[in-house]
Amino acid sequence: MLAEDFINQKKATWERLGAIVDRSRRRGLTALADEEIAELGRLYRSVTSDLAVARRDFAGHRVVDYLNGLVARAHAEIYQRRADRSSGIVRYFAADLPRTFRETWAYTLASLLMFLLPAIAGFAIAWQDPAAGARLIPGVEDVLRDIRAGREWWLAINDDGRAASAALIMTNNIRVAMLAFAGGVLLGSLTLYVLAQNGLLLGVIAGAAQAYGFSGHLWGFVAAHGVIELSVIVIAGGAGLQLGWAVVRPGLISRRAALTVAARRAMRLLIGCALLLVVAGAIEAFISPSRLPLAAKIATAVLSGVVLYGYLLFAGRPPSRAAPRRRRAVHRVTRIIND
């Protein structure tokens, strides 16, 4: 069979799936009629099969790219479970960002473990022997000397003015988050390295501070901004791991299509991370090195954590009456696909 004959034979099916997907993207999966939901599942299976045939028989033809894109769009609608779409910035903050965080929690958890385990190991080693901890992180010796001497080096970050310090801190934090994210395209290897390195660095410094009786001063500086800053690094790392997993395990779609789907989710997280780091940088420059009492800084940490995770975990949830229908719709589509 020629590619043109294959296209003519299957074109109507592809166009119908595209129409249903476009309708779902505009109004949400729950806006589809029951017949359309069932049809979406059947068409997705059919077009996925067509994609496999096209890859086998017409490799290099433009129909393969077309079907890759169509399957990726349909996959996103079915498995991301997006609904109740509005538009613009309001939709992003009200629904897209917190929903994406919840939908990708497994990647964020993996990122947290890759940060936390080296941090615990570094803390234990440096607490027992600060010199051994210093050997784990080249260049950290100056910081450990300051800790041993009882010098609060962070007081000097405002020598150039608080606004300048805030800008510098924001830039550095965003750079770290971007590295953790972009490292995902290297099968997640660079992401894992950035997470482990930053976790180990924090653990070594905290362990040395504990060994030298400096921990109260250190946490007095870190507490206020640490909740947001460390959360963002972990979330950005999770976004990077999504990219790496899409390359390693693309599923039924091509690696390029899977990477496109993962990148869209990851970018929603990354934009939110950049904005949160602006807040963290401001706190680190204006509150963390200040002479405010430790209780005030801890209160800032608790308040920022409650607000951040209250937003990420609960914002953008659908009305209670719509939720059962959405679950039924997604369950019905996936059941048809898997049968």
pLDDT score recorded for residue 86? 45
Confidence of residue 307 (pLDDT cuts 50, 70, 90): very high
pLDDT-based confidence at 118, cuts 50/70/90? very high
pLDDT of residue 171: 60
Lowest mean pLDDT among 159-173, 185-199, 239-253, 272-286: 159-173
In this predicted structure, what is the pLDDT of residue 282? 85
User: Which whole number is the average pLDDT over 175-180?
Assistant: 75
- Residue 235 pLDDT more than 60? yes
Cα(301)–Cα(271) distance, rounded to whole angstroms? 22
Residue 227 binned pLDDT confidence (cut-offs 50, 70, 90): very high
Which of 45-59, 227-241, 251-265 shows the lowest mean pLDDT across its residues? 251-265
The pLDDT mean for the chain works out to: 82
pLDDT of residue 105: 92
Higher local confidence (pLDDT), 84 or 256: 256
Report d(CA 230, CA 280) in Å as an integer.
9
Binning pLDDT at 50, 70 and 90, where does residue 82 land?
very low
Residue of 11 and 166 predicted with greater confidence? 11
Determine the pLDDT at residue 3.
83
Higher pLDDT, 137 or 117: 117
Of residues 6, 122, 12, the one with CA closest to residue 55: 6
Average pLDDT of span 40-68: 87
**What pLDDT is attached to residue 156?**
65
pTM value is 0.69
**CA atoms of 253 and 177, how far apart (whole Å):** 28
User: Is pLDDT at 334 greater than 80 in this prediction?
Assistant: no
Tell me the mean pLDDT in the region 112-124: 95
- Quote the pLDDT of residue 2: 82
Q: Using the predicted structure, report yes or no on whether residue 155 has a pLDDT greater than 80.
A: no
Q: For 105, how many CA atoms within 13 A lie in the half-sphere containing its CB?
A: 7
How far apart, in whole angstroms, are the C-alpha atoms of residue 147 and residue 216?
Answer: 11
Q: What's the pLDDT score for residue 185?
A: 67
**Residue boundaries of the structural domains of the chain:** 3-84+320-338, 97-314
Band the pLDDT of 249: cuts 50, 70, 90.
confident
> What's the pLDDT band for 85 if we cut at 50, 70, 90?
very low
* CA nearest neighbour of 247 among 189, 179, 187: 187
Dist CA 14 CA 44 (whole Å): 9
Q: Which residues contact 330 (CB under 8 A, 6 or more apart)?
A: 29, 78, 81
Specify whether the CB–CB gap between 171 and 278 falls below 8 A. no
**What 3 state SS string does the chain have?**
CCHHHHHHHHHHHHHHHHHHHHHHHHHEHHHCCHHHHHHHHHHHHHHHHHHHHHHHHCCCCHHHHHHHHHHHHHHHHHHHCCECCCCHHHHHHHHHHHHHHHHCHHHHHHHHHHHHHHHHHHHHHHHHCHHHHHHHCCCCHHHHHHHHHCCCHHHHHHCCCHHHHHHHHHHHHHHHHHHHHHHHHHCCHHHHHHHHHHHHHHHHHHHHHHHCCCHHHHHHHHHHHHHHHHHHHHHHHHHHHHHHHHHHCCCCCCHHHHHHHHHHHHHHHHHHHHHHHHHHHHHHHHCCCCCCCHHHHHHHHHHHHHHHHHHHHHCCCCCCCHHHHHHHHHHHHHHHHHC
